[in-house]
Amino acid sequence: MADPETPSRSRLARESSAYLRAAAEQPIEWYPWGTEAFELARRTGRPVLLDIGAAWCHWCHVMDEGTYADAEVARLLRQHFVAVKVDRDERPEVDQRFQRQVSALTGEGGWPLTAFLTPDGEAFYGGTYFPPTDGHGRPGFRRLLGEIARIWREEPERVRETTGAIREAMTRLTRRPPSAVTELAGFPDAVLRELRAGFDPGYGGFGGAPKFPHPIAVELLLWEEFRTGSEGSGREARETLLAMADGGMYDQLGGGFHRYSVDERWRVPHFEKMGVDNAELLVAYVEGFRRFAEPRFEEVVRGTIDWSHGVLGEPAGGWGSSQDADNAPGDDGSYFTWSRAEMLEALGPADGRLAIRALGVGTDSAMPHDPDRHVLYRLAAPREAAEGLRLDGPPEVAYARVLAKLRAVRAQRAPPAVDRALYAGINGRFVQAYALAGALFDEPGWLAEAARVADRWLAEGFDEQRGMAHLLRADGAVGHGLLDDQVAMARGLIELGIARSEPRYVAAARALLALVDREYRGEDGLPRAVAPSLYDGPQIGTTAPPSYPIEDTPHLSAGAAAALAFLRLADATHDDAGRAKAEALLRPIASRLGGAGLFAAGAALAAGLLATPPVQVVIEGVGPRARALGSAAQRVYHPRCIVFAGPPPAPFTFAGGVPAAPPGGARALVCSGTSCAPPVAEASDLPVAIRAAGRGGA
């Protein structure tokens, strides 16, 4: 066992996590998560300080650069505690466990998560960010460490009472009574009523500042419009997608979305860009384009794919997890923001004024801490912004030139760091998004990239007995037993298999979902976040109550994603068993989510799709007419439609089989259930046929 005085660099410097390696130079005697630290705490009789953060987390950096660089904090930790640092992306199961415990104790959650634990791994105090000395309306960490050390030493009964209360709260949480929802068919409507109560009619999205994107809620609104013809639902979905696309939430120069907006108008973001956000937003914009044919949505899809490929993409295949908000200690978005002087210097007087007008460089885009710097957002169309200016060329051409020049200037700045860790949950989401976008916009390169990544994960991260690993490292795959990894990768593999008509991807997805069905069932059939029989992480302390990931956070919950995956597999293979498994998952989920509103959108969408008849389309023939039919089919919004380019091979199936096509002809076959409509030969007739086939019983 390492001596407690061993410098932390000898531990954290060899960790695979970039977030942990960045802390190796701090004066804190950090340990990574594992049995060594807790054995030391037990042997020395000290409590454990647990710090959970991530490479993309701004306030984690602030605490690292201030609090954990403080000599007195380091002395107190060295004298009274065993300090453990965790990357929440690398160990989401640890983060989930202690987020729940700290939230039950204090009502606080988020990152950095600061928790004080017994040597048995039970929290007895916690919070989020703490400055070194009193400030920001929070107690200073120096003072807090002294008080926690005193309580641990002098009031052990108080510690025991607190840990006991948290255990009871966790038990109550896992056994909370069913909600008022008794019928699955009524669940989507109940959620939609709650969701609409929080819709922002002025700026789109849900709630006020800070405002997070909720892409799965947008997909639920699109489904509602399809089901009922409700213009209100469609309008809310479109307004939200447009507002996010035109706001500072979306990087107008580099593509990709920042994590959230600090204001309700989507103008000033928190600048970190997370893979999980961008993959889920890609899917929402793909579906939005199918419904509205809005050119701006296509621009966003292409820009986000360019960013994810160029910034997160790995040469060997895969997408890293995030791009940081900051490029240096004390920085806050300087890479992404501009002053008026910088824009005029880069562009010249006429183009500079066009950029200032079009990209909203005014007081409502100013950074709170530095009013001279502005976030770029789309305030006016190029033609409107160009009024009264003498430009070289038409306004649209001048605007494109402006964006290109600003990109070139920004490329000379030091970019924020990228966390290149490869996580299954994020990569599975990107495989799904690239497959859907590649099929919609006929981009074989996107499909090829998705296939290359999927092939790498199947070769290096997949085990038939244990499923998909959480993380691919240089020395192999690690971290089995997490539900989100299984279902995210299964959904990606299913969409890739459909887009390329490749059975092996669907076969791998079926194996992952069979594992989910067998190993991840918990109380009342609820899906567990961790499968105890498959989990290969360190077993720390007492057994924690199971976590059931059924609420969106705002990312799609793993429980709802599992139901969606079973349903999509059933649609692709015409297998009613998948539909039954989705329904069996959704019933206990819906019974627990009464009042969750916006955070139940994923489960509500899955329940709604369960009641929406699926549609399958086969495009037969080759040549321009067949391509036109295929493009028309892909561009129809239907929430439960699958398009095959040619008769699908097993295990894909098609209702009633595929009748022989006339020689040399091109046609589309549209089927729902066990019946097919008459073949469609004209692309202009196909949207009506697809929408009509999916209406009955919806």
pLDDT interval class at 230 (50, 70, 90): confident
Helix (H, G, I), strand (E, B) or coil at 83: strand
Cα 314 to Cα 54, 214, 254, 258, 452: the distances in Å are 20, 27, 18, 20, 11
Co-location of 490 and 604 in the same domain: yes
Name the β-bridge partners of 418: 323
Model pLDDT for residues 94-119, shown as the tens digit of each residue? 999 999 999 988 888 999 999 999 99
DSSP structural state of residue 178 = P
Co-location of 119 and 13 in the same domain: yes
First to last CA, the chain: 63
pLDDT interval class at 1 (50, 70, 90): very low
Number of domains in the chain: 4
pLDDT exceeds cutoff 90 at 318? yes
pLDDT interval class at 8 (50, 70, 90): low
pLDDT of 654: 66
pLDDT interval class at 54 (50, 70, 90): very high
In this prediction, residues 60-69 reach a mean pLDDT of: 95
pLDDT exceeds cutoff 90 at 562? yes
pLDDT interval class at 124 (50, 70, 90): very high
In a domain, 183, yes or no: no
In a domain, 192, yes or no: no
* Contacts by 506-511, CB closer than 8 A, 24 or more apart: 506/569, 506/572, 506/573, 506/651, 506/652, 507/651, 508/458, 508/462, 509/565, 509/569, 510/569, 510/573, 510/651, 511/464
Co-location of 594 and 635 in the same domain: no
Co-location of 470 and 399 in the same domain: no
pLDDT exceeds cutoff 70 at 87? yes
Co-location of 130 and 269 in the same domain: no
DSSP letters spanning 518-537: HH-B-GGGPBPSB-TTT--S
Task: Among 419, 452, 470, identify where a domain stops.
Answer: 419
Question: Chain-wide mean pLDDT for the chain?
Answer: 92
Largest CA distance in the chain: 89
Task: Among 611, 626, 655, identify where a domain stops.
Answer: 611
pLDDT of 435: 98
In a domain, 181, yes or no: no
In this prediction, residues 69-74 reach a mean pLDDT of: 97
CB neighbour list of residue 626: distance below 8 Å, 6 or more residues apart: 619, 620, 666
Q: Please tell me the chain's helix, strand, coil percentages from 3-state DSSP, rounded to the nearest 5.
A: 50, 15, 40
Nearest to 355 by CA among 342, 373, 343, 371: 343
pLDDT interval class at 661 (50, 70, 90): low
Co-location of 567 and 683 in the same domain: no
In this prediction, residues 644-662 reach a mean pLDDT of: 72
In a domain, 381, yes or no: yes
Query: What is the sign, positive or negative, of the torsion defined by CA atoms of 629, 635, 641, 645?
Result: positive
Co-location of 240 and 388 in the same domain: yes
pLDDT exceeds cutoff 60 at 660? no
pLDDT exceeds cutoff 60 at 544? yes
pLDDT of 167: 85
Co-location of 632 and 676 in the same domain: yes
How large a percentage of the chain has pLDDT more than 90? 83
Task: Among 590, 611, 632, identify where a domain stops.
Answer: 611
pLDDT of 696: 47
Co-location of 394 and 477 in the same domain: no
pLDDT exceeds cutoff 60 at 2? no
The span from the CA of 634 to the CA of 616, in Å, is 11
Co-location of 620 and 598 in the same domain: no
In this prediction, residues 550-557 reach a mean pLDDT of: 95
Residue 267 near residue 247 (C-beta atoms within 8 A): yes
* Residue ranges making up the domain that contains 686: 613-698
How large a percentage of the chain has pLDDT more than 70? 94
Domain with 568 in it: what CATH number? 1.50.10.20
In a domain, 4, yes or no: no
In a domain, 471, yes or no: yes
Co-location of 498 and 527 in the same domain: yes
pLDDT of 9: 60
In a domain, 156, yes or no: yes
The pair of structure tokens assigned to 337 is 């923001």
The span from the CA of 558 to the CA of 552, in Å, is 8
Cα 25 to Cα 7, 28, 204, 259, 325: the distances in Å are 9, 8, 44, 28, 21
pLDDT exceeds cutoff 80 at 37? yes
Co-location of 584 and 447 in the same domain: yes
The span from the CA of 353 to the CA of 339, in Å, is 12
pLDDT exceeds cutoff 80 at 4? no
In a domain, 502, yes or no: yes
Model pLDDT for residues 139-190, shown as the tens digit of each residue? 899 999 999 999 999 999 999 999 999 888 877 766 655 555 557 989 999 9
DSSP structural state of residue 319 = B
pLDDT of 612: 95
